Structure 1
């Protein structure tokens, strides 16, 4: 069954693409970066700061939300957007990554995965049907199929088994999604580890099933960046060109830049807020570790030309003091600075693609990161 396409491709420069994804809660400009609000909140940041930073769409975590406060409770309270007060688009993952990360607490079978809650040890079964049901109860604009993600390196036999199981789960997920509002979307997830052949097999199988969009999963799980980029290059030719392409759980600014150059449209990662909580700032000079003593007497801002006020208005000395003192404000400021940097980077990439000078932008940006702000770091 053919599914409606909510994605409009607006421009290309080489393999890099820019487009517009229409959801029930608004439009998403692509390439897009989704900050991760795992439990219905951005750690240390208010939703209005997400909007101010230029965020179009955020991510919520099915596994965590189904455990606490519970999908049924959120549905009774009006869905995720009303519950959280984030009024924009939201994507929810299926819980597949937690299936991998909770290896000591779960068992994977044909029917689904059973695991013990990390909160209270309660036994829980997550099937493709239940994963879709939970996401529909949450009310997310974009839901993901349940898949099995394999941590690399892994034996080929384990990767192949996970690919075939994920394809069978994809068919069940799509059937379970029937009856969802026409404007809502379900994405399939390509697996295949570091095997080009299995990546192509997975992508072609998902295309035959048919989804609103297609994600590449099972990367950024321990493999070098070169392997990740090679798998993107191997996979994309087997994915529909007219549908959004989502690289899950990625990544550093350099990962984003290189993946967009290879045709990826959407990303999510905890890195901007997680690194902010640990005293790390992302800037056009590269990453700056504000825990370092060299910043203690530095009156300069992180970037006097930044559009984000905290990057311009606070000295490195003050940010260093906050971080070293364990003040919550330090984590909040740096998390906001990092989210804003990521969104500015995405906007700059969209502009460069539209103006057809993406390769020049890519070279200049990587050059700035390589040169860095040596005296400040």
Structure 2
């Protein structure tokens, strides 16, 4: 690896703990566990597999695994190589990938035809890491691609840059926005092809935490982990979507979480009654509700509280200082002083390059916060949102 500006690279978020916490456990599942040092050797082995797999240069890797451990190790290997990463829940249609050149594309998968993709055995892939041998890192702009859920139309490919994710993590760390992410033993129940899932991995890795992953990417595997008392007794934090917690609430009487200190929510609106059920059953834990969109690292703002008596789930919480928050009024005009309308996020995607992201969420500005009031009325056509107000305003102004 080219170590120039190494502390400014996304891979440094993981590798700093290899240097400082080599013997600390990084990744665990029901079957196995790896320290930061052992994980580093696995990641290095996968990076060697990628670079030696083709005679021509690869710049984009599609990761489509059922085994979440393989996905996580492969993610960090691609990050170390500074390659474009596509986190794909499925690879059934080549139409979605036409934006990538087939000559520079590699697929890693544990369920596709071996003639089309590469797979590996985690127990056999490990090599003693020597990142300084060979100039294999490409210092350039790279992206992580996700697919939108497609619940109201065709899912589409969305990208976030390494630059965006690194700046978000630096901001979170410098401003101590996620104090709960340090030195935890955290169950991340969200599939890692989801923007929330991989963002949570990066955030807790920055904090030097030990990550527990379900083996599979389904909704049952995380609950199976919690029913295993040898694992649940060690868990100090959980990250998940509201649907997961609704399932957990049903079996809470059978789950032992004596060390739990934090419950994290993301991915959807959190019903207040669900929070109260969990708080009643789990007790002295802090809670966080992240507000974000897929187009950028999944935290724009964070509602973090120690007691439910002072919580307000409709408040978006503390906005990361790297984002400029605008509100678009009913006439389609965006401004930082507007009091009511659609929330617009102004963010950097690269050095000297910014973009505006429409959230389609209606908010009201109060003295100290932004209150969520609902969703905008828009038309969705082939997975793309069309706002009639914007079209009307454009026609009127022209």
Fold conserved between structures, TM > 0.5: no
TM-score under structure 1 length normalisation:
0.33
Relative contact order (alpha carbons < 8 A, sep ≥ 6): 1 or 2 greater?
1
Flag the structure with higher strand content: 2
Flag the structure with higher helix content: 1
Radius of gyration: which is bigger? 2
TM-score under structure 2 length normalisation:
0.32
